[in-house]
Amino acid sequence: MPIWDPEHETMDREKLANLQLDRLRYTVAWAYGRVPYYREQMDRRGVTPSDIRSLDDVRLLPMTDKSALRDTYPFGMFAVPVEEVVRVHSSSGTTGKPIVVGYTRRDLDTWTELTARVASEAGVAKADRVQVGFLYGMFTGGWGMHYGIERIGATVFPAGSGNTERHLMMMQDFGTTALVCTPSYALYLAEVAEKNGVDIPSLPLRVGLFGGEPSSDRMRDEIERRLGIIATDNYGLSEVMGPGVAGECECRRGLHMAEDHFLFEVLDPSTGEPVEEGEEGELVITTLTKEALPVLRYRTHDLTAIDTAPCECGRTLARMRRVRTRTDDMLIIRGVNVFPSQIEDALFQVEGIEPHYLIVVDRTGAMDDLEVRIEVAEEIFSDVMADMVAFTRRVAEKIHSVVGLRARVTLVEPGSIERTAGKTRYVIDKRREN
Ligand code: DLL
């Protein structure tokens, strides 16, 4: 498979580190000189841009969290006047005002290069017909991927999210070869196709570029099987750019990170100290080339591990492990720390459970109540009562053995858990909502 930008994607790692240092020094000076927030934070720590002499000196810099962007809403973190900004996107906060991000003309060009790189890593080439099923709008997913794919010269169908039947029609009539969307939407497409008698595996569709939310290996296998494709993962976040931050190549041993445009750290979330290569920690990202919104040490809250060993594909860019959990995903239920992904792993060990579930946490009196609603295969659902009770018990025992908590397991009818074209919500914590 051809490499989109061999100069940077196969760069000698020492040269890459030099490039990163040059760019880091430039970015820090740019942010310090133009964004009052960074100047204040750095002055408070007694750090000036000239203190950055090595890549490790990034640790002298303050970390940035979502709250910085929220407190300066909407444009307070911009390093250029709004006239220089040619595009604005935002990420929907679950509560209150969104996070607003901006791009100069050059930022858009970089972004396009990086999403072209991600698409190319997944094997998309000029001859491909690519159907984009992300929301086009303030979300970075749709437009971000769109321009990169266009730059490759592939044919883009900007179908957007929703209208699943139209997606299926286009897939059949236009000869779509690649699908871009969230993994949960891919699964939903498979479901609707099966219901409508559309045999996707017999269509030309061959690859999926999925991102925007985590997915388990089990879910990925399921998507591959039901759509008859190879599924690839790509990662990004609005605050530092959008999609294009990292993407899997055909080897699928982690996502190549755009290290020429970002400096990545993996830190122990409780101490802020770097972890050893290969160990899991929180991903912290510093942008190296952003003009409109330079970001210093952004705490992503995403947990991953980095591998800098060369990849068989020939790229030298380090790879990050697929993100399954976020530090802020953790639920504390009856004093036990649980990640939803652990419950998901437990569920998938039981035969007959569909990859659709909902974790509902509530408090009745002083007690936390953990309910896990799961969709099961038709055969199980239509079984006799006693079998269903036994099945439910088996699932509860599995959850107990994996996470150490008793859960109330509720079987629900196939298709009854809400499907979305965007990011799926797997947890409702009513304790936080009250
Ligand atoms: O989701 C950008 C994006 C769009 C990436 C399309 C890839 C494809 P936000 O809405 O700001 O931006 O959400 C960013 O989503 O911090 C992760 O927690 C999660 N996330 C994104 N991609 C992945 C992935 C976009 N491939 C947040 N695996 C991030 C796991 C992901 N989590």
Q: Which residue segments constitute the domains of the chain, with CATH numbers given?
A: 1-326 (3.40.50.12780), 330-429 (3.30.300.30)
Report the SS3 class of residue 418. coil
Task: Give long-range contacts, CB 8 A cutoff, 24+ apart: 109-114.
Answer: 110/241, 110/261, 110/289, 110/290, 111/144, 111/147, 111/148, 111/241, 111/242, 111/244, 112/147, 112/148, 112/150, 112/151, 113/5, 113/148, 113/151, 114/148, 114/241, 114/244, 114/245, 114/258, 114/261
Question: What does the DSSP assignment read for 375-393?
Answer: EE-HHHHTS-HHHHHHHHH
- Residues 6+ positions from 252 with CB-CB distance below 8 Å: 232, 233
pLDDT at res. 407 = 96
pLDDT at res. 162 = 84
Range of lowest pLDDT (34-38, 179-183, 422-426): 422-426
The number of the ligand 1 atom at minimal distance from the alpha carbon of 239 is 11
pLDDT at res. 24 = 98
**Residue whose CB lies within 8 A of the most ligand 1 atoms, among 94, 301, 323, 329, for a mutation test:** 323
Name residue, tokens 């997915």.
Answer: 215
Q: By percentage, how much of the chain surpasses pLDDT 70? A: 99
Task: Flag whether pLDDT at 381 surpasses 80.
Answer: no
pLDDT digits (tens, 9 = 90+) for 83-101: 999 999 998 765 678 999 9
What band does 44 get if pLDDT is binned at 50, 70 and 90?
Answer: very high
Strands 319-320 and 306-307: antiparallel
Report the SS3 class of residue 132. strand
Ligand 1: residue whose CA is nearest its atom 19: 213
**Residue whose CB lies within 8 A of the most ligand 1 atoms, among 302, 328, 341, for a mutation test:** 302
Residue range 71-81: mean pLDDT, rounded? 97
d(CA 22, CA 25): 5
pLDDT digits (tens, 9 = 90+) for 300-314: 999 999 999 999 999
d(CA 47, CA 49): 7
| 168 and 176 Cβ atoms separated by less than 8 Å | no
pTM score of the predicted model = 0.95
- Residues 6+ positions from 43 with CB-CB distance below 8 Å: none
The CA 380 to ligand 1 mean position distance, Å, reads 34
The CA 53 to ligand 1 mean position distance, Å, reads 32
What lines the ligand 1 site, CB under 6 Å? 91, 134, 140-141, 211-214, 233-238, 242-243, 300, 302, 323, 326
**E strand or H helix at 367, and its extent?**
strand 367-376
The number of the ligand 1 atom at minimal distance from the alpha carbon of 134 is 6
Ligand 1: residue whose CA is nearest its atom 9: 237
User: For 281-348, where are the alpha helices, taking DSSP H only?
Assistant: 340-348
Residue range 182-202: mean pLDDT, rounded? 96
| 183 and 231 Cβ atoms separated by less than 8 Å | yes
Q: How far is CA 311 from CA 119, 123, 130, in A?
A: 17, 16, 26
Question: What does the DSSP assignment read for 278-297?
Answer: TS-EEEEEEESS-SSS--SS
Q: What is the mean pLDDT of the chain?
A: 95
Task: Flag whether pLDDT at 403 surpasses 70.
Answer: yes
The CA 300 to ligand 1 mean position distance, Å, reads 10
pLDDT digits (tens, 9 = 90+) for 133-180: 999 999 999 999 999 999 999 999 999 998 999 999 999 999 999 999
What are the DSSP E strand ranges found in 154-259?
A: 155-157, 178-181, 207-211, 230-237, 242-248, 255-257
The CA 84 to ligand 1 mean position distance, Å, reads 26
| 411 and 381 Cβ atoms separated by less than 8 Å | yes
Task: Flag whether pLDDT at 428 surpasses 90.
Answer: yes
DSSP code at position 60: G
**Residue whose CB lies within 8 A of the most ligand 1 atoms, among 130, 237, 240, 264, for a mutation test:** 237
The CA 135 to ligand 1 mean position distance, Å, reads 13
d(CA 117, CA 128): 15
